[in-house]
Structure 1
Amino acid sequence: MSESEAPSSPPRIEEDDVLVYEWVVGNGSGHVDAAASDLGLTADRVAAALGRLGDLGLIRSDPSDPGGVRAVDPDAAGAKLTAPLRASIRRQEEQLNQVHQSLDRMRARFLDHVPGGQDGTVVAIPTLEEVRAALNRASAECQYEVVSSQPGGSGRVPEAMQEALGRDQALLSRGIRMRTLYHHTARFNGPSQAYVAAATSLGAEYRTAHELFGRLIIFDQKLAYLPEKSGSWGAVEIREPTIVSYLYEIFEQTWIRATPFSDAAQDGLERVAKEIHQTIVDLLAAGLKDESIARRLGMSLRTLRRHVADIMDTLGADSRFQAGVLAARTRLAREPSAQSPDNT
């Protein structure tokens, strides 16, 4: 095999190969029959192992002993064995650099002619692939801070969160400050707890609130992303300074009132659990439907209905409507000055 030809698959060393190689090393030199006798293997198995070891360059013929073999230092064999792979990697890196150079030329023209590449603009990004590309580009160009609001708390996929942790680690390693808001319900989700613990150890900051204003990401107080209104996987990229500043102020106000995300074993879970329960009572008394309450609190409809059932049992109510009336009458709900019915 020439240096320019990479093997079709990585070499594989069998257990017999290890035993035979060790025997050759220990004996200095050897023959098939002697190895088979000492190791309790058939001559065919020893011959096959010697063949594989020879292909890997780990043994060679012994010039002083016709038919015998000697062991070769694995480091010496490895240099020859990996040379084709290294050559292949170099070629692929060169090709990758060429692709990046071509894309960089196109990217400059793209950003020069689309509204989203200019300050003072608002532009829709229609597809998930383009949203990811935009977010990756914004992350790479970020200089000092990323803030985000990530509603939800249940149904977090561990694989997706692991991928997100890799992206966050890249930002944090550059000294970028990261602050993220979650719903209180994230505290009771195992993958979320593990993700926050890992990212916090790298320097990220997390807080939770019983209600959030929606999904939002802001880079350097200059560039914001909101989800597209239709509920698709698209997004809206905002560079208009007044709008971005307004969105950032909304984040800051919520951040100040939010609760630092603590470990599940620490004090605080009971308090936020009570806050979630009280908020459900408030919204129930205000006349919101289950779907609206679940969406506002970032929990599944099934979980929300379990909470509602517990509240109805506590109040002795026979229906959701009666529970809302009783909650208001008995003042279990706070003053609903900040609440408004939502019958959507």
Structure 2
Amino acid sequence: MDPSTGVGADQELPQLLELHQTLYRIALENGVLHTALVARELDRPTAEITEAVRDLAALRLLHPTQTAGADAPGEDPGASPTYTANSPDVATAHLNGPVDARIRQLRQRSDQVNNHVMIMRGVFEEARQSHYTRTGVERLTGIDAIRGVLERLTLTASVEIASAHPSLPAQPVIDEGRGRTTEAAERGIRLRTLYPHSVLSHPYMRQHLSTVAGAGVQFRTVGHITDRIILFDADTAVVADPDQPANRGALVIRDRSLARFLYRSWESMWDSGRPFTASDGDPSAAPKDDVRREVLRMLESGMKDEMAARRLSMSATTYRRHVSELLVELGAQSRFQAGSYARRAGWLVD
């Protein structure tokens, strides 16, 4: 490391030890640092002092004032190299100057590339819009893009927003969407939402449904929902994109015939759902009958615990607790037997 040029951007920074701090303090307190004199005063080898001083000089914490002469123990201190101290602010300004200049250069290059390539943005948007007009399907990528489209469709809906959600939403998601939901209800929009029965086993979800139902939103629960779907005025649908990771992609379907077909399928599921009532929102009494019935269906099908728990939007631990209770209640020796007993007893009706 060359003290005259400082520490390069790609070089490793020298470690600052107790000796470095001592030398820097001497230079600050005395106004000048004589390497040979300090070596004698500290009773340390001149080579060790010289190396530490080189580190401080490379970091621009010391600045040489005299370079004539050699660092030898018997030499006149006046002939040995001397240094004055710079403040850490001055030192970092010296060292970071070239780095900051390079950053500015790279930022200018980045802006240049963006401005040059983004000239084609208009062509891209025009072609994409033309494609969507022809196909009636728009692909969204990323949470921000999905959220933006949902907000616009919610604001422009004039009759109804119908939706189905296959799993329990995270509490922050629920809290974030509550305002948009109540605002739409206040505009007179009919809001109907489907959830799996299992979401009612979560107190905060029951409280949320009770709160929003008070604003006029209708909820029903069913045994299982395959995919998330949101329908706006029965002629625009937003569904999960199966080719992208969960919650990272969506398809906006504006083809009226296809959207109407999806709406009729949703209506069929709605008709089979169980309405959410005020008693369901009681935090002291989580409704279990529908949940237990779906657990029995899973047992009858032979589905593995982890997969069944995901399908019912509950943890594997909660699912196994339901299973244990049902085995005892039915006097069954196996999971499949429990499902069989439940059907013969009339607990399961297709």
- Which TM bucket (shorter chain)? 0.5 to 0.7
- 1:215 maps to what in 2? 228
- SS of the residue aligned with 1:181? strand
Contact 2:239 2:250 in 1 (8 A): yes
Question: Which of residues 138, 157, 163 is equivalent to 1:123?
Answer: 138
CA offsets, 1:266-314, max 9 Å, x none?
79x9895223212211221221122332233222222111112222333
- 1:303 maps to what in 2? 318
1:178 and 2:198 aligned: no
Contact 1:182 1:208 in 2 (8 A): yes
- 1:250 maps to what in 2? 265
- 2:210 maps to what in 1? 197
Cα root mean square deviation, aligned: 3.2
CA offsets, 1:109-168, max 9 Å, x none?
947842675375123211111111111111122111100002224x741x4322211111
Give me the whole-angstrom Cα distance separating, in 2, the residues matched to 1:113 and 1:330.
54
Contact 2:343 2:349 in 1 (8 A): no
Q: Go from structure 1 to structure 2 and tell me whether the alpha carbon gap of 1:266 and 1:123 turns closer, same or farther (over 3 Å shift).
A: closer
Contact 2:330 2:341 in 1 (8 A): no
Question: Which of residues 284, 294, 299 is equivalent to 2:309?
Answer: 294
Give me the whole-angstrom Cα distance separating, in 2, the residues matched to 1:168 and 1:111.
32
The runs of 5 or more residues in structure 1 that have no matched partner are: 1-105, 339-344
Contact 2:185 2:191 in 1 (8 A): yes
CA offsets, 1:143-196, max 9 Å, x none?
11100002224x741x43222111112212221111111122222322222222
Give me the whole-angstrom Cα distance separating, in 1, the residues matched to 2:341 and 2:280.
36
The runs of 5 or more residues in structure 2 that have no matched partner are: 1-120
Compute the TM-score of the two structures, normalised by the length of structure 2.
Answer: 0.56
- 2:100 maps to what in 1? none
Larger CA Rg, structure 1 vs 2: 2
Compute the TM-score of the two structures, normalised by the length of structure 1.
Answer: 0.57
Contact 1:119 1:239 in 2 (8 A): no
Higher mean C-alpha deviation, range 286-295 or range 170-179: 286-295
Q: Go from structure 1 to structure 2 and tell me whether the alpha carbon gap of 1:148 and 1:193 turns closer, same or farther (over 3 Å shift).
A: same
Q: Go from structure 1 to structure 2 and tell me whether the alpha carbon gap of 1:176 and 1:265 turns closer, same or farther (over 3 Å shift).
A: closer
1:142 and 2:157 aligned: yes
Give me the whole-angstrom Cα distance separating, in 1, the residues matched to 2:180 and 2:342.
49
1:261 CA displacement: 0.9
Give me the whole-angstrom Cα distance separating, in 2, the residues matched to 1:336 and 1:299.
20
- 1:169 maps to what in 2? 182
- SS of the residue aligned with 1:114? helix
1:242 CA displacement: 2.6
Give me the whole-angstrom Cα distance separating, in 2, the residues matched to 1:215 and 1:332.
33
Q: Go from structure 1 to structure 2 and tell me whether the alpha carbon gap of 1:271 and 1:249 turns closer, same or farther (over 3 Å shift).
A: farther
- SS of the residue aligned with 2:320? helix
